[in-house]
Structure 1
Amino acid sequence: MDVLRSVALFGGAALFEIGGAWLIWQGVREHRGWVWIGAGVVALGIYGFFAALQPDANFGRILAAYGGVFVAGSLVWGMVVDGFRPDRWDVTGALLCLAGVAVIMYAPRPAA
């Protein structure tokens, strides 16, 4: 159950962090204005709560693993929202990152 909860929290974190960064990008680079930027800042704040709710108590582990989720999620966001088409090296890199997430977060560890 903890693994499913953790995966769901990583998904929510990715949605809010990548979405927040995208909103800020749109506000600044695409000149959509302060409302977009403000919405992005709020979304980035919500992202922090998702990370804090992870079942593992180690901040460094959570953020290191989330980095891999962010890499893969960013490519998916680009495909869905911006029409980006990753090449085989993008996909290979994302899969390697997700393998790293699995090792960092879900490898068996001795009880403390």
Structure 2
Amino acid sequence: MTILRAVVLFLLAGLAEIGGGWLVWQWLREGRGLAWGAIGGMVLILYGVIPTLQEEPAFGRVYAAYGGVFIVLSLLWGRVVDGWRPDRYDLVGAAIALVGVALIMWGRRWFG
């Protein structure tokens, strides 16, 4: 699997998880209709499927690396969709998380 394919799958999984969770949040916390929650639930099911398309066979490794991507995407979602502005500590933490993602997924390939 190419690094690009892995990154694209992480991004798709993140959008599905955050988007689905946001739709459920809108339903339960913001009083939107049941359809918002139902669509959110379907999107969350899709989130569960996408990581299985990663070539890496170790579930724990894929989900640990995905966690770092989730951190970054959550901050971006908050900024773009909810208008919330991450502070410098959020940004530094996200950068550290991405270094962790790279080491977990590709460190063996880069460093032996």
- TM-score, normalising length: structure 2: 0.94
Matched, 1:98 2:98: yes
| AA aligned opposite 1:104 | I
Aligned equivalents of 1:43, 1:84: Cα separation in 2: 23
- SS of 2:108 mapped into structure 1: coil
- SS of 2:84 mapped into structure 1: coil
Aligned equivalents of 2:62, 2:2: Cα separation in 1: 14
Aligned equivalents of 1:98, 1:40: Cα separation in 2: 27
Q: CA deviation at 1:92?
A: 0.5
Moved over 6 A (4+): none
- The answer for unaligned runs of 5 or more in structure 1 is none
Are the aligned partners of 1:2 and 1:55 in contact in 2 as well (CA < 8 Å)? no
Percentage of identical aligned residues: 54
Task: Indicate the residue corresponding to 1:33 in structure 2.
Answer: 33
Q: CA deviation at 1:33?
A: 2.0
Aligned equivalents of 2:106, 2:48: Cα separation in 1: 21
Are the aligned partners of 1:23 and 1:36 in contact in 2 as well (CA < 8 Å)? yes
List per-residue Cα deviations over 1:55-94 (Å, max 9, x = no partner): 1011000001111111110000011100010000000011
1:53-92 matches, cutoff 5 A: 53-92=53-92
- SS of 2:92 mapped into structure 1: helix
| AA aligned opposite 1:105 | M
